[in-house]
Amino acid sequence: MMNRTETLRRALHSRRDRLIALTQAMIRIPTLNPPGEFYREACELIAAELAPLGFDCRMLRAIGTPGDSDRHPRWNLVARRTGARPGPCVHFNGHTDVVEVGQGWTTDPFGGALIDGRIHGRGACDMKGGIAAAIVAVEAFIDLHPDHPGAIEISATADEETGGYGGVAWLTGLGIFAHVDHVIIPEPLNKDRVCLGHRGVWWAEVETFGRIAHGSMPFLGDCAVRHMGAIIAEMEATLLPALARKRTAMPVVPEAARASTLNINSIHGGQAEPPPDFTGWPSAVVPDRCRMIVDRRFLAEEPIAEVKAEFRATLERARQRRPFAYAVRDMHEVAPSMTDRDAPVAAALARAIGATLGRPAEFVVSPGTYDQKHIDRIGRLKNCVAYGPGILDLAHQPDEYVGVDDMLDAGLVIALALADLLGVHAG
């Protein structure tokens, strides 16, 4: 008689074509964020997969959240299947939005091409392949255990790539996770890893001020772009080397991300970029304003107040060398989060990885934040981790892909962990 692992493995492999088709269908909906396109279409596709399995599907728009508008509504799907008798609730959460395409693709980024066992496209790895693997895993589990105890929930949410405020943060504020016992987020952290959490993040906008003048007489003006250049020079000379020397005890991957980091997300100074159909020349002026957005990732060992003070000290050192006026505006901040590796959901996934892959699970922490932050901080639910197929380094890259075999393996891990968490031990 086959054991549970082999029974579920066969059930999943019999659905290989279905898994491929679902992943491709999701990739072909270009849910680009920003601005937040086709969220409803993505949710409707997933709801059409879940409704026949007995899920009650609700479409919820996060009205009034950042980015939400009638042109770009922030739609979310929350689906629930109640079991035959009382038991815990296991929730799978995945975001439908994807980042911009970028340059360097050799395949259609929204084509979902299947090439040598890999499905290519923007969002294939991050994280439509993970959503598809979870859905098919749940389907296989329900087919074998239609009278399971407890409840299974699946949510497809908006805006994770821009902070999750129109998705999981909003839903958590509504109390959607108040009755949930276990959360698995199928982000691409590699199929043999359980991701316990993430580093912290602080986004800030720095603006330097000058005085406008004719470009032929810059000595009569005050160039705000040059002031920003002084800030960047000071960051390069003092702040970035100091951040590189900091190390965390958190098991962050890759190894280089165990240090603190800072990225310059964008700089805008001087005249605005003209529209694409403009054929003229810029006017001759000295720019009186320059804006820079910084993305600071910090460690559990760094208090947020210290992170901000360190950055402001850098600006002050730059101003001592070159007097200028500036302003700093907080955009958003998220504290580091890490679930204990002995938490029920983490332990269940680790056991399932061992049964599926024949080797111990690796416990890691993500270099970037994901929606666990809201479930932890707003929902006060610590029993939440990320686990899904896909190679972390492929996220946001050209020619992003997810391997079909990896999705099947991850799906088996998810199905086994689901059975474990619901207390289904037979078959």
Q: Which of 126, 139, 153, 160 is labelled catalytic?
A: 160
d(CA 262, CA 259): 10
pLDDT digits (tens, 9 = 90+) for 233-265: 999 999 999 999 999 999 999 999 999 999 999
Classify 4-198+336-422 by CATH class.
Answer: alpha beta
Confidence of residue 392 (pLDDT cuts 50, 70, 90): confident
DSSP strand E in 305-376: where?
325-334, 337-338, 362-366
pLDDT of residue 408: 98
- pLDDT, averaged across the chain: 96
Find the range with the poorest average confidence among 163-167, 245-249, 422-426: 422-426
pLDDT of residue 1: 42
**pLDDT > 90 in the chain, percent:** 96
400 by Cβ neighbours in 10 Å (0-12 / 13-18 / 19+) ranks as buried
**Can you tell me the mean pLDDT for 347-355?**
98
Catalytic, 6? Answer no
> Would you say residue 161 has pLDDT above 50?
yes
Query: Letter for the amino acid at 240?
Result: L
pLDDT digits (tens, 9 = 90+) for 12-43: 999 999 999 999 999 999 999 999 999 999 99
Other residues' Cβ atoms within 10 Å of the Cβ of residue 373: 23
Each domain of the chain, given as residue ranges in start order, spans 4-198+336-422, 200-334
pLDDT digits (tens, 9 = 90+) for 254-296: 999 999 999 999 999 999 888 989 999 999 999 999 999 999 9
Confidence of residue 426 (pLDDT cuts 50, 70, 90): low
Catalytic, 340? Answer no
278 contact partners, CB below 8 Å, separation of at least 6: none
Q: Which of 49, 97, 126, 288 is labelled catalytic?
A: 97
Classify 200-334 by CATH class.
Answer: alpha beta
Confidence of residue 108 (pLDDT cuts 50, 70, 90): very high
Spell 272-283 as b/e; 16+ CB within 10 A means b. Answer: eeeeeeeeeeee
